[in-house]
Every structure is written in C-alpha cells, then in structure tokens.
Structure 1
Amino acid sequence: MIQTPISFHFLRGGTSRGPYFRRSDLPEDLDTLSRVLSSVMGAGHPNTIDGLGGGVAVTTKVAMLSPSEEAGADVDYFFAQVDVDSPKVDYRPTCGNMLVGVGPAAIEMGIVPAGDPETRVRIRAVNTGALVEAVVQTPGGRVRYDGDVAIDGVTGTAAPVALNFLDVVGSKTGAMFPTGNRTDVIGGIQVSCVDVAMPMMIARAADFGISGYESREDLDANTALFARMEALRLQAGTLMGLGDVSEAVTPKIGLIAPPRDGGHFAVRYFMPWSTHPTVAVTGSQCLAACAIAPGTVADGIARDVGPAPAVVLVEHPLGKLEVTVDYAMEGETLTFRSAGLVRTARLIARGEVLVPGEAFG
C-alpha cells in the first residue's frame, strides 16, 4: 500500500485537540478532502483506532490554515468536524476551542511572523466569516506554552491566549434571533433559537426532565433524551433558516439550569449527538448573549449579568468558563458588540501523518 506523507502540527486548543495543516498541503476538492481527513483521524471506528482521533467529537477536529487574502486578517482558519463512527466530515460549523491553537500554529508554521513579547494574530474563520483577534505570548520571538493560567477541563497550567471575537452576531443566519422571536415553542417545549458565534437551540434543562447538573457520562447514556432533543433540533434548524440539519452539527443544543457554584447559570452543551465535556468557546458566547437578552428561556434562571463590560461565568461539568462581553441595552433591544475569553493551547507533536493512497481516489 502506497501512503502519502502530509506535514502537520498537533495542538491542544482549549479543551479540544487535533491536527493543524497548511490548507495548500491538502486536496482542494471537498469530497477528496473528506476522505483524506477521515483517514487521518481514523473515522469509522468508535475508537478511531486507525488514525489520530481520540474516539470522541472533541478529539476528531481538524484545523487548516493559510495566509489570508482578506483585508484586516492575517490567517484563514478552515475547520472540519470529522465524525467518529462514520467517514463523514462537516464543514459548516467552526470550533472556538481549536481556534485557540490557530495563532500558535500559524506562528509555528511560519504563516505569521512572531513579535516580541507578544504577537497579535487576526484570524478569519472561513466557515462562518467571523473575525477574531488572538494575542499569543511570544517572548524572544518564540511561542511560549508554559504559564500559570488554568482552565477547567485541562490538566495543569499554561500560557494565556487571549481571544477577542468580533462580528459574532448572526454568524450563520444573519440575525441574533433568526426565527424573529426570543422564544419559540417546538414540540411543547419553550426554546430560544440564538445565533451569536454559533447557532444554538437553547432550552431549560428541567423541561427535558433533567436537572442540568448531570455528568457527561450519565447524559450520554440517556438515549431517550437525545432522541427527544434531536427531534426538536431538526425543527429548530428549519425555523432558523438552516434547512435540513439532520447531518449537520448545527444548531448545537444547550440546556440551562440555575447556577449552583457562583456562576451566572449552569449548562449542559451537546455537539449535538454527544455531550461536550465542558462547553464550546463559540457556544459559551451564544449562551452568554441568551442570558443577557430579556425574554429568552434564560429569564428566571440566569443570574443578572450587570452592566457592560461584564464577565459571564458559565458553569459546565468540569468547572466554569469566563466570557467577557461588551454590549449595550436600550429598553428591550440588545446590541451585542463582542466577546472575549482567555484560554490556553499547547503544541503536542509535529511531523508527518501517512495517508493511504486510496483516500485520494
């Protein structure tokens, strides 16, 4: 069997990880690209045993980078969500956790020159068109990975990567509330369909018969819950103008509950066919916007966020995530300006991954 080597960097970004490639090293045709990425990650086996994947959705993600031709951007970030159990790839969403590693990876690959003591990298998310500025620690012109910042869901500490998300409202649909309502009733359940950084269907955990404090393992074992959520998600996708989302990972699902550990609210975040171990970076911004806006399902659940700029504390299964939001409120009208987070990343490996020739057709 002839195998083709492809250079890659392998990074943890936030609470996800995966290979980062130069887009120019991969096939342009999306069908061929999907076969190659499925092979790289070992898709089609629950353990992704024949590839680099880790057997769950947060470890079967791929980032593809290229110098940006867009004014005001340094690097284009093209994201792919590779399925675990089948050789399918979704290019419709983006991933905020993998985005944390884009700045360091772009510097390591030589796409963006390093400054001293830090480097500002302006990133265009190709999948959604969003613009994000990442501030990477680069003392002496080299990416620094060690530091004292801890994030829940990751062992130890590392150097901070600050992210400022711009133009996040209506990332896929063009509107914060794409149905035209702050709440809709689908299948007898009240939901808020929100599009800030990531299209989401958000509902109250209690309305699905759960507390909202369950572990990921307990939720993943609740097949009846997933069947019920998916039926509503399909309808929400249509209402949001996303069409048939039966094979798309968006809209994602968030089930919220009152805070119980000093946060503003608790959430269980679904990707959507499995439970996220923490909460997605993009999803956290959407949830924060939902908590701020009056008239959503967060009313009566989320603690008051207060005047902008404000830090929203999102409780998740492994701790809390902080989202700094800038917004304006005039009466009932919310203008959501930007969201910022501090996360961490680490370069784990670099080299060549070998792809069987049959993947290229």
Structure 2
Amino acid sequence: MNDLLAIPCVLMRGGTSKGPFFLARDLPADTRERDRILLSVMGSGHPLQIDGIGGGNPVTSKVAIVGPPSIPGADVDYLFAQVRVDQQIVDTSPNCGNMLAAVGPFAIEAGLVPARRGTTLVRIYNVNTGKLIDAEVPTPDGVVSYLGDAAIDGVPGRAAPIALTFMDAAGARTGQLFPTGKPVDVIDGVAVTCIDCAMPMMLIEAAAIGASGFETAAELNADRQLLERLETLRIAAGERMGLGDVRNQVTPKPVLISRPNSGGDINVRYFMPHQCHPSLATTGAVGIATACITDGTVASLLVGARKPPLVLSIEHPSGQLNVKLHERDGKIVAGILRTARRLFDGQVFAKPVTQLGCAA
C-alpha cells in the first residue's frame, strides 16, 4: 500500500468550469487540514499544476464539497473552493454557479437526494453565501441523464439541460446589493458599480480604462498595464465594499462592460480576477443582469431602462448567456440554463497533511 492519502472523488464539468467533487465526510473537518489536502490534490503553486489534477487555469482549478443539508428546506449543502493556480491559496469566499450546475447530478448519484421520474428538484444551500438555489435535473426513468439537446456557449456539443434558479441572490457576501450604499462610486477618476448579487463584482465601462470591451480573453490577459490598472481599482473597491484587503481573495470580480454587437443586450469581459474568463461565470451573469435592471448603475446607464420580467442576453468572449429575471415577493429571481457531465470517478491521491506546507 502506498503512503499517499486515497480520497473518493468524482471529476465533473459544471457549465463552463471543471473540477473534483467530494463528499464532505471524505475530507477533514478541520479547515486548514482540508485546504492543505485540496492544494495537494490540485497541484497548486505551479502554473501547470503539474503535480495535481488542476488544469492550470482558474476555470479548471475549482472544487465542490457536497454534504447533507445544514438548514431546513435544503436538500444538500454545497461549499465551493477556488484553488489558486499560481499560489497555494484556497478561497471559499465566493460561490461558483457553473460548478453549481453539477451539484444536483452529483448529489443524486451519491445517494444524498432520491431521484424522481422525469425531473428531480434539488434545493442547494450554498454555504459560501448562505443562499438557496434550485436545480432541476433531468432524471428520466429515475436516473440522472447527461445526454440531451441543450447547448451553452463555451462548451462543445449538446447535453441535458439543467435549470438553475437563484431565489434571492442580493447581498450574497456583504448582505447588501450595493455594499458602498450607492449604485455608482468614483474610484481614481473611474465610475464603477460595486454590486453584491450572487458574486461581489466591480463593473466598469470598458472605454473608461482605454479598452474596447471586444478584445479576446487572450489579448486582455497579455495586457499587463490593463491588468495592473484593474487590480488597483479592485483592491480599492474591495475596501469600500467592506471586504477588507482583497489581494489574496478572488472577490470582488472586475467586469468590463460595453454595448453589444451581436444582438445581445450588453457585452462583458469578466475577470477571475487576474485573468479574463474564456466565457462568463454563471454567478457573474446573475449580478450583471441585476445591475442592468437597477436604476443608476453603470450597466443600466449603458443599456437603458429595463424592468422584469424579461430575458437579458449577455455577450461574452465565447458567445452569449441568457438570464431570465422576474420578481417574487419583492425580490429578484434569476434563472439560467446550464449543462453538466460526469467525467471520471474513483480515488484521487494527496500527500499526507504532515508532509504539506501551510495553506494561506
């Protein structure tokens, strides 16, 4: 028997992200020990994550931890961890809506939620944000189906549709839709909207920092001056939002917005936060769409007055993502269609905690 730790694991694609899914019972209860294990599993601290199963990119260096519900009304708990590629840092402050798309199928197949014939509703409590999200998972014949005709931009081919409904996404981290108390702030001469809806973000009109908003992700990632400018603004926005020093956090996310050119309602470039997302985060889409329908934000000033119910189409580097918005009990409810796929299951191996360095 080898001296590595063998941990049950399922590798899954959720939306436009990918990463290992674990049952909470299979990881240490102690947060520091858990994070050390995750760093070893993913191979963080190396640009290629060569000594782990991470993919060398923020969208493939994500982890989902799923377990029994901790609150009434939920079916499962879901804790998301963004594991940094280049540094040994595990950040559990944000949610990830793309990985969220695979939580329902994983929970059903792990025996946490009984499958129904036709469609199974899984009520997911996101531990990171304290919010509930409904996932409708196709389960014909009482088993999860991954095959279907749904397509999402940023993922090749077609798959079974998974409908996600964010019941009340406002104030996911700070408890307020606008943590600074207003829809627009001026930071270093730049008008920004600091919004906390599914994901804390800082929205900026691309032209305000010398960008067109239509650059490819690769072009933006190569523009060191622009990335440094965004990081300076992001750090200042984090302080104003009450998030403290965000240098080692992945929130707030910087988002460049501009007018659409492919029939959508708005065009965006979403950062994670130090690289441009190849498409768009699901949680980011919820927050951006909410900003578009809220008076006074940089997004609403760009797109014009919009009020729910409506479907808002967001253009991104890989295509478009639609968000369906309506009001329920005075709160905005956002719906998004995603897909997921089970890629591999078995055991992943980690170095024993005693042989690992400290997680930041």
Show the counterpart of 1:102: 103
For the residue of structure 2 that corresponds to 1:340, the secondary structure is strand
For the residue of structure 2 that corresponds to 1:301, the secondary structure is helix
Distance in 2 of aligned mates of 1:269 and 1:336: 25
State how 1:4-15 maps to structure 2 within 5 Å: 4-15=5-16
For the residue of structure 2 that corresponds to 1:298, the secondary structure is helix
Deviation at 1:308, TM superposition (A): 2.2
Distance in 2 of aligned mates of 1:164 and 1:101: 14
For the residue of structure 2 that corresponds to 1:10, the secondary structure is strand
For the residue of structure 1 that corresponds to 2:88, the secondary structure is coil
Residues 162 and 341, structure 1, Cα contact 8 Å, conserved in 2: yes
Show the counterpart of 1:283: 284
Residue type at the aligned position of 2:345: R
Residues 43 and 50, structure 2, Cα contact 8 Å, conserved in 1: yes
Deviation at 1:236, TM superposition (A): 0.7
Distance in 2 of aligned mates of 1:33 and 1:81: 13
Show the counterpart of 1:346: 341
Residue type at the aligned position of 1:314: I
Greater displacement, 124-133 / 293-302 = 293-302
Deviation at 1:4, TM superposition (A): 1.1
The structure-2 alpha-carbon separation of the partners of 1:245 and 1:45, relative to structure 1 and needing over 3 Å to count, comes to same
Q: Which runs of 5+ in 2 are unaligned?
A: none
Residue deviations 1:205-226 (CA, integer Å, cap 9, x gap)? 0001010011000000011111
For the residue of structure 1 that corresponds to 2:245, the secondary structure is coil
Residue type at the aligned position of 1:158: A
Residue type at the aligned position of 1:2: D
State how 1:159-198 maps to structure 2 within 5 Å: 159-198=160-199
Distance in 1 of aligned mates of 2:17 and 2:299: 27
Distance in 1 of aligned mates of 2:268 and 2:96: 18
Deviation at 1:301, TM superposition (A): 2.1
The structure-2 alpha-carbon separation of the partners of 1:359 and 1:107, relative to structure 1 and needing over 3 Å to count, comes to farther
State how 1:290-301 maps to structure 2 within 5 Å: 290-301=291-302
RMSD value, Cα: 1.3
Show the counterpart of 1:331: none
State how 1:188-267 maps to structure 2 within 5 Å: 188-267=189-268
TM-score scaled by length of structure 2: 0.96
Deviation at 1:356, TM superposition (A): 1.6
The percent identity for this pair of structures is: 50
Tell whether 2:310 aligns with 1:310. yes
Residue deviations 1:150-173 (CA, integer Å, cap 9, x gap)? 000000000000011012111111
Deviation at 1:299, TM superposition (A): 3.8
Show the counterpart of 2:134: 133
The structure-2 alpha-carbon separation of the partners of 1:118 and 1:360, relative to structure 1 and needing over 3 Å to count, comes to farther
Distance in 2 of aligned mates of 1:107 and 1:303: 42
Residues 178 and 193, structure 1, Cα contact 8 Å, conserved in 2: yes
Deviation at 1:300, TM superposition (A): 4.1
The structure-2 alpha-carbon separation of the partners of 1:359 and 1:39, relative to structure 1 and needing over 3 Å to count, comes to farther
Tell whether 2:322 aligns with 1:327. no
For the residue of structure 1 that corresponds to 2:278, the secondary structure is coil
Q: Which runs of 5+ in 1 are unaligned?
A: 329-334
Residue type at the aligned position of 2:67: S
Residues 256 and 265, structure 1, Cα contact 8 Å, conserved in 2: yes
Distance in 1 of aligned mates of 2:183 and 2:70: 37
Following superposition, which runs of at least 4 residues in structure 1 exceed 3 angstroms of deviation?
A: 358-361
Residue deviations 1:246-299 (CA, integer Å, cap 9, x gap)? 111111111100011111100000011111111110110110111111211124
Deviation at 1:336, TM superposition (A): 4.2
TM-score scaled by length of structure 1: 0.96
Distance in 2 of aligned mates of 1:339 and 1:55: 31
